[in-house]
Structure 1
Amino acid sequence: MKKWIVLLLSSLFIVGVMVACSPDREANETEETDNGTEESDNENAEEEKPEKLVIWEDKDKGVGLDAAIASFEEEYGIPVEYKELDMATEIREQIRLDGPSGQGPDVITLPHDQIGQVVTEGIIAPLDVDESVTAIYTESSLQAQNYDGKLYGLPKATETPVFIYNKELMSEPVETYDELFEFSKEFSGTEQYGFLALWDNFYFGNSVMSGYGGYVFGSENDVPNPQDLGVNNEGAVEGARYIQKWYEEIFPSGIIGESGGSAKDGLFQDGDVASVMDGPWAFQTLNEIGMDYGVTPLPKLPNGEYPETFMGVKGWHLSSFSNNEEWATVLIEWIANEENAKIRFEETSEIPPVKSLIDDPIIADNEGAQAVAIQSQRAVPMPNIPEMAEVWEPMAQALQLIATGESEPQEALDEAQSTILSQIELNHSGE
């Protein structure tokens, strides 16, 4: 009995000592953290701030960054510079040279279909951001920024081709391509045209072919399969025949090839074309020249289906060559946030895929933005796997042969399909 009492008293004594000592230990740990570690971390964070951060932005779009940079500099005390380069070609080519030499940027912008290729080359790095950051964007725009299960950018702008018409020549938009074809015939023999499109460019021409059932890559569990090409299936050939009809009976020969885009733009801006298929990137120039224009989603094809356009998502990306990854990531989050996305839209007319802004009057009451939003629902994101790089040139060559009548659609598309598969085998078999 005595032994039991002694043991009980000993246990109570030990517990009492632990309880009594615990607050002092925690207080000491807290004091050490408050007076030592946190202060040291803050000092290190200050020391690690770079002298400056550099962004490479698309040509003529830097104005959309000015407000975001000013507020970032005020908030963090880090100067930010930007340089404008052509997004589609120059940025990727230039960073291959400047990145390894330490002369490159911290942040770059790219179209999402280049992500697979630049990841493979080690040009951009995955982004480590909180879910609260990504939650503001549309699901499709985030999917476009993902590759191999990792996030490689934050969405900047979404775009897809739409129908733009000059109200002086076309008072009301057409609802079908059959109507548009008949409308365009009325301009025959004049120096004006009812409708122009760059359908020898696969980015635009694919919308017709896909509307008839063609596709680029099939997919398995939402992952593109580069061995499953639908560019020469029955639907793609039928769509190509419809494209050929427009070139034979309506379109002028001058809008084929590399100079076709500038020729089309010049004719439309001069008031010699009633309507065009173009993207939201055209709005800024049309506003500047004062054209009274309207914008709608694309008309229905003769088969009753809507053209299935490519949807592109431009993003902000972290350069793998940056020595300031953490601060560059903070900068990306800042320039892509809701407030700065809205300001950028006001300055550039590029539509941000930020969910809260879709119903904002600045976009909801904007005819062009709404047309892009509707057409985007009928669009497919361009594949962002590296193999997509092998598709563009063979398909452009095929469509140009079809447009000029030098080849029949089936023959041209079969040749393109064969070339694409050969190039994929040659350049990507080890990936």
Structure 2
Amino acid sequence: MQKKIRKVMSVFMVSALLFSGCGIHGTDNVKKEEDNENNNIVKLTVWSEKDNVDTTSKMVESFKEHYKDEAQFDITIGVQADAKVRDVMLTDVHNGADVFSFPDDQLTSLVAGGVLVEIPDAEKVKSANIEESVKAATLDDKIYAYPMTADNGYFMYYDKNYFSADDVKSLDKMMSVAASSGKKFAMEFNSGWYMYTFFGNTGLNLSINPDGVTNKCNWNSESGDIKGTDIKSALSAIASNPGFVSMPNGDIAAAMKSGDVIAGISGVWDVMNVKAIYGDNYGACKLPTYTVAGKEVQMSSFTGYKMMGVNAYSENRDWACRLADWMTNEDNQKLRFKERNQGPSNINVAASDEVKKVPAIQAVIEQSKYGTLQRVGNSFWDACKDFGDTILSGTNNGMTDQELMDKLVNGITASTIK
């Protein structure tokens, strides 16, 4: 879940110009593909997250069956966490998988590092997938990956034994219900990915500069209907509320299972856990409003998408593109939804009655109306963690609220290039 763009990104910026689409090969790649064709064996490696291996295997087998008259295949499935793909590929792209899934926030650095090829069938992808998922796979008007899911955002899970449909509209109400029951509402408060939820719909702004590395931010604004210090005061009130607890996102499901937590901010990666814990009482909805400067403000979010990329150094790039396309087609997005409850980016599958019946997917779709694509430079993350930790400590470390907000913004906008 960590959404950091590593400093190593800048080292690779120039190399992005060296690579082109799947149908264009250097001399070495042409020779290797010809050798493989002569042997009639196409060798490919696919990376999958551990929990998705079984589903990935079915997709690979159906691909091999579909193209059995054109080639023989030797396709290996390796386990690799999507969140770590960028780090691994930028460190050792030559030993990376031919085809791999990754979250959209890694696209810029993977393209800059020369890792991804431009897909050859852009119009087909555009017509088949939700517009925002295609935008997430696009850089400088070129599509560099095949959209796979439209659910890599976050929303609210809750236990219907405790909360009504009206209760979950307000964070204040949710914390009050939790406190009165001796329970907690949970989120990863000191993570920039979740901290953004309190700033996104306040009129204050965060964006990445044209250099693609540094940030622009006015979260310390001293003017306007909602000032930076207003948000700081609201966050301090939340952090000290007896119905609130901060914990790593990966710990929330376990805290729900123990009974300590009855609501929490997470994403579809937790849906199977939450369903198993709450059963028929499992609820999911968009994030609530929270109180800041005397106003009820809808909590925002970073929206996210996952996609399949093709390694520019693949010895079988044409076949790798075909496989990536196959694994993200309509039928396989149906399969991914059926077996893993992952929200589809394919227009037809997303509009199906089956998808509409899943609370978690409907929640992430509803929350996306109040969110924005995550496009921030590396300095954002550590600055937000330090800010969140300071608020959780109950002190300002000797600073005024304005000084604390100034420190946050100075950290977010700091250059990470040495």
In the TM superposition, what is the alpha-carbon distance from 1:170 to its structure 2 partner? 2.8
- The partner residue of 1:143 within 123, 135, 140 is 135
C-alpha distance in 2 between matches for 1:49 and 1:214: 58
Q: What stretches of structure 2 of length at least 5 have no aligned partner?
A: 1-33
- The partner residue of 1:184 within 171, 175, 178 is 178
Matched, 1:398 2:391: no
Aligned residue in 1 for 2:80: 85
In the TM superposition, what is the alpha-carbon distance from 1:264 to its structure 2 partner? 3.1
CA contact (8 A) 2:206 2:215 kept: no
Matched, 1:119 2:141: no
Determine helix, strand or coil for the equivalent of 1:294.
Answer: strand
Aligned residue in 2 for 1:167: 160
Show the 5 A alignment for 1:32-431: 46-47=37-38, 51-76=42-67, 77-89=72-84, 91-100=85-94, 103-158=95-150, 159-172=152-165, 173-187=167-181, 190=182, 192-193=183-184, 195-217=185-207, 226=214, 228-233=216-221, 235=226, 236-250=228-242, 255-256=246-247, 260-289=248-277, 291=279, 292-302=281-291, 303-383=295-375, 388-407=377-396, 409-424=401-416, 426=417
C-alpha distance in 2 between matches for 1:49 and 1:398: 58
CA contact (8 A) 2:36 2:42 kept: no
In the TM superposition, what is the alpha-carbon distance from 1:262 to its structure 2 partner? 4.1
Q: What stretches of structure 1 of length at least 5 have no aligned partner?
A: 1-42
CA contact (8 A) 1:134 1:154 kept: no
CA contact (8 A) 2:159 2:278 kept: no
CA contact (8 A) 1:127 1:153 kept: yes
C-alpha distance in 2 between matches for 1:203 and 1:418: 18
Determine helix, strand or coil for the equivalent of 1:83.
Answer: strand
C-alpha distance in 1 between matches for 2:41 and 2:218: 49
Is the alpha carbon distance of 1:147 and 1:237 closer, same or farther for their aligned partners in structure 2, counting shifts above 3 Å? farther
C-alpha distance in 2 between matches for 1:239 and 1:264: 25
Deviations, residues 298-333 of structure 1 (Å, cap 9, x unaligned) = 112333332111001111111122121111111111
Determine helix, strand or coil for the equivalent of 2:265.
Answer: strand
Deviations, residues 77-99 of structure 1 (Å, cap 9, x unaligned) = 4232221222112x223333442
In the TM superposition, what is the alpha-carbon distance from 1:251 to its structure 2 partner? 5.6
Name which one, 1 or 2, has greater alpha-carbon Rg.
Answer: 1
Is the alpha carbon distance of 1:50 and 1:124 closer, same or farther for their aligned partners in structure 2, counting shifts above 3 Å? farther
Deviations, residues 172-226 of structure 1 (Å, cap 9, x unaligned) = 4522223223323313xx3x22x11212211111111213233321789xx9894
CA contact (8 A) 1:217 1:229 kept: yes
CA contact (8 A) 1:127 1:151 kept: yes
C-alpha distance in 1 between matches for 2:174 and 2:98: 47
In the TM superposition, what is the alpha-carbon distance from 1:147 to its structure 2 partner? 1.6
C-alpha distance in 1 between matches for 2:219 and 2:313: 37
Is the alpha carbon distance of 1:108 and 1:218 closer, same or farther for their aligned partners in structure 2, counting shifts above 3 Å? closer
User: What root-mean-square deviation, in Å, do the aligned CA atoms of Structure 1 and Structure 2 show?
Assistant: 2.7
Deviations, residues 211-249 of structure 1 (Å, cap 9, x unaligned) = 3233321789xx989453234335454333322211112
CA contact (8 A) 2:213 2:377 kept: no
Determine helix, strand or coil for the equivalent of 2:343.
Answer: coil
The size of the alignment, in residue pairs, is 369
In the TM superposition, what is the alpha-carbon distance from 1:290 to its structure 2 partner? 5.6
In the TM superposition, what is the alpha-carbon distance from 1:400 to its structure 2 partner? 1.5
In the TM superposition, what is the alpha-carbon distance from 1:112 to its structure 2 partner? 0.9
C-alpha distance in 1 between matches for 2:99 and 2:173: 46
CA contact (8 A) 2:163 2:174 kept: no
Is the alpha carbon distance of 1:138 and 1:117 closer, same or farther for their aligned partners in structure 2, counting shifts above 3 Å? same
Determine helix, strand or coil for the equivalent of 2:45.
Answer: strand
Code of the aligned partner of 2:93: G
Larger mean Cα displacement after TM superposition, 151-160 or 334-343 = 151-160
The TM-score with structure 2 as length reference comes to: 0.80
C-alpha distance in 2 between matches for 1:52 and 1:237: 57
C-alpha distance in 2 between matches for 1:228 and 1:96: 26
Code of the aligned partner of 1:174: V
Is the alpha carbon distance of 1:306 and 1:145 closer, same or farther for their aligned partners in structure 2, counting shifts above 3 Å? same
C-alpha distance in 2 between matches for 1:225 and 1:97: 19
The TM-score with structure 1 as length reference comes to: 0.78
In the TM superposition, what is the alpha-carbon distance from 1:139 to its structure 2 partner? 0.9
CA contact (8 A) 1:136 1:354 kept: yes
Code of the aligned partner of 2:74: P
Determine helix, strand or coil for the equivalent of 2:82.
Answer: coil
